[in-house]
């Protein structure tokens, strides 16, 4: 049974290139946070964690998440840390990411459900034998709410 959802930040909840929160983000988070423990695990390769925190606070997103972690270089370590914080194992989570070589690959290797948001600059980065195939592929965050297994979990 799914108990938690771990989101990537850039190009999943927030458009890094155009610097705006996707219009559906708050509605989706509000809906999902009523049933699931939510977290953010994301790379900030520029090291500017402060900028991301400011955006999260400005949009009043903190209230939706049990854990928000950024790293400059080791996203895998943050998944483990987040699972410990949430007291969950990989089979109890969904990882949602715009990159198959990061979050999707990590989740697939550990038995988590994975959802690839295929949009933005990494939409042509296709799954391989190494990454595994995402459990689901969507093109917009609001498509999460249409997934049958989430609907059953929310009932």
- What distance in Å separates the CA atoms of residue 12 and residue 142, rounded to the nearest whole number? 11
With cut-offs at 50, 70 and 90, classify the pLDDT of residue 47.
confident
Domain range summary for the chain, segments of one domain joined by +: 4-154
Q: Dihedral of the CA atoms 93, 113, 139, 69 (nearest 10)?
A: 40
Instruction: Give the mean model confidence (pLDDT) for residues 19-30.
Output: 96
The predicted model gives 73-100 an average pLDDT of 96
What global pTM score does this model have? Answer: 0.94
Using a pLDDT cut of 70, give the percent of the chain over it: 95
pLDDT at residue 33 is higher than 70: yes
Higher pLDDT, 46 or 30: 30
Here the contacts of 56-61 (C-beta below 8 Å, separation 24 or greater) are 59/21, 59/25, 59/26, 61/13, 61/25, 61/26, 61/29
Residue 155 reports pLDDT greater than 50:
no
Predicted local distance difference test score (pLDDT) of residue 46:
83
CATH number of 4-154: 3.40.50.1000
């Amino acid at each position: 049974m799914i108990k938690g959802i771990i989101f990537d930040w850039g190009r999943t909840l927030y458009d890094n290139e155009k610097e705006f929160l996707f219009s559906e983000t708050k509605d989706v988070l509000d809906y999902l946070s009523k049933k699931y423990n939510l977290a953010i695990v994301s790379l900030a390769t520029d090291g500017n964690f402060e900028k991301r925190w400011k955006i999260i606070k400005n949009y009043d997103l903190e209230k939706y998440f049990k854990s928000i972690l950024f790293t400059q270089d080791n996203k895998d370590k943050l998944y483990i840390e987040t699972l410990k914080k949430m007291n969950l194992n990989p089979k109890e989570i969904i990882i949602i990411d715009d990159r198959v070589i990061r979050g999707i690959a990590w989740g697939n290797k550990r038995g988590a459900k994975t959802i690839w948001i295929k949009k933005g600059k990494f939409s042509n980065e296709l799954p391989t034998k190494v990454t595994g195939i995402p459990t689901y592929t969507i093109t917009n965050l609001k498509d999460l709410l249409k997934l049958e297994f989430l609907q059953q979990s929310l009932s």
